[in-house]
Amino acid sequence: MKLPRSSSINQAEDFLRIRKTGHAKAGRFVIVSTLADPALGTIRAAFITSKRAAKKAHDRNHIRRRLRTYLQAHAPKFADSSRFIVTIARPEAKNASNAELEADWVKQCRRLGLFA
């Protein structure tokens, strides 16, 4: 399922601001970055999968779909819904099982204090 346009990050300035002033935690399969922004009414998310993470477009798309489902499943449990979240897939993500990838993503979100 595709995220609605209103929930995606698509401005270069936003990515730069998240990278400069946000917080990031790295796990075995993903790197999750976040930045709180009171002006946002909802979560704005982006999923980055480079060719380094997976050579084939099919595999990169598959990783993004998996990460998107984790966000959709766990976003209602977030303490604050006014924030940016950027998830970057690492090369090991391609070979990770669904449970391993989800556990790593949730672990990084917990480390960032996203859950209540």
Beta carbons of 91 and 51 less than 8 angstroms apart: no
Beta bridge partners of 8: 45
Q: CATH number of the domain at 8-111, out of 3.90.1150.10, 3.40.630.10, 3.30.230.10, 3.30.1330.10? A: 3.30.230.10
Instruction: List pLDDT tens digits, range 24-46.
Output: 999 999 999 999 998 888 899 99
Instruction: List pLDDT tens digits, range 87-99.
Output: 999 999 999 999 9
Beta carbons of 39 and 114 less than 8 angstroms apart: no
Tokens of 116: 């209540």
Q: What is the pLDDT of residue 81?
A: 86
Residue 99 is which amino acid? Answer: A
Question: How do the domains of the chain map onto residue ranges?
Answer: 8-111
Beta bridge partners of 101: none
